[in-house]
Amino acid sequence: MGKFVPVTEKARKVVKHKLDVPYGSTDRTKYDVYGTNLPKDAPIFIYIHGGYWQEGSRDVATFAVPVLVGKGIRVITIGYDLCPQVRLGDIISEIKMAVEEILKLASDNGSRCVWVAGHSAGAHLAMSLLFDEPWLNKMMTREYMNLLKGLVLIGGIYNLNPLLGTTINDALKLTKDEIKAYSFIDLDTTKRKPIQGLKVIVTDGECDTPEFINESRKCAQKLVTIVDDVQYLLLRENVDHFDIVEKLTEPEFLLTKTILAHMSSN
């Protein structure tokens, strides 16, 4: 994590920002806004960090900031409480709270669109937005879904069963009910109405582990049943699980260009 700090320090030196905006009552339930000098209607890119729901912070989640802000896109990095201090369900609720607040802000400011991205466990948290129908209905009623145009799920964890019996679960202490509720690729979606007007990009690097790549492909297959525009993107640029987000600092990286192309067209 130490090598990520210089990226954040550089971003904060060159990009206008506002740190520690609270959306909850704890020290970690805050977000940082980059590109505060952009027009009010600027598109918004929300980024959710990874770390197996027990590590990481918004302080090491700024890779996309310089390039996107340079192209007129405001970037917001979300922090959240970590296990074992809270349960996984609490974190999922926090993310929905933060995204809802940002969507309200975007609506009030006339933002052109909002995209949500997450890496690893952050991708799981981003995906959780699509599997809470009451929350989605609430966003639709408030007309926030008109703004939410896309999700980018990067090297995500979508099936929690393999975590049982590993040291990762020492902090998570997952119950059978939690595994069933939050293993999104196994949920029954036969009665779900497709979400329209939303683009979901599921992506991995070709040097990622076969387990991650397989889960992402299953994730894309599941999302096709509830979202009308899903793309699976395997990045063949000699990148692994961590290189993907680090390379978001590069304007010519395929994922960076893909995000820019979609957000500039909204």
Please confirm, yes or no, whether 17 is among the known catalytic residues. no
In sequence order, the β-bridge partners of residue 229 are: 199
Q: Which of 17, 49, 241, 262 is catalytic?
A: 241
Tokens of 140: 């639709």
Radius of gyration of the chain (CA): 17
120 is catalytic: yes
d(CA 151, CA 249): 19
CB 32, CB 19: distance < 8 Å: yes
| Nearest Cα residue to 156 out of 48, 5, 45 | 48
Phi, psi of 222, rounded to the nearest 5 degrees: -70, -40
Residue 108 annotated among the catalytic residues of the structure: no
Three-class SS of residue 144?
A: coil
Residue 173 burial class via C-beta count within 10 angstroms: exposed 0-12, middle 13-18, buried 19 and up? exposed
Separation between Cα atoms, residue 125 and residue 94, nearest integer Å: 10
Candidate list 111, 119, 120, 128, residue with the active-site label: 120
Q: Residue 175 has which token pair?
A: 């119950």
User: Residue 17 is inside which H or E element, if any?
Assistant: strand 17-22
Of the candidates 149, 37, 69, 35, the residue with the CA atom closest to the CA atom of residue 103: 149
Structure tokens at 123: 């991708």
Catalytic residue among 49, 208, 216, 262: 208
**How far apart are alpha carbons 93 and 82 in whole angstroms?**
12
DSSP assignment letter at 1 = -
User: Which residues are tagged catalytic?
Assistant: 120, 208, 241
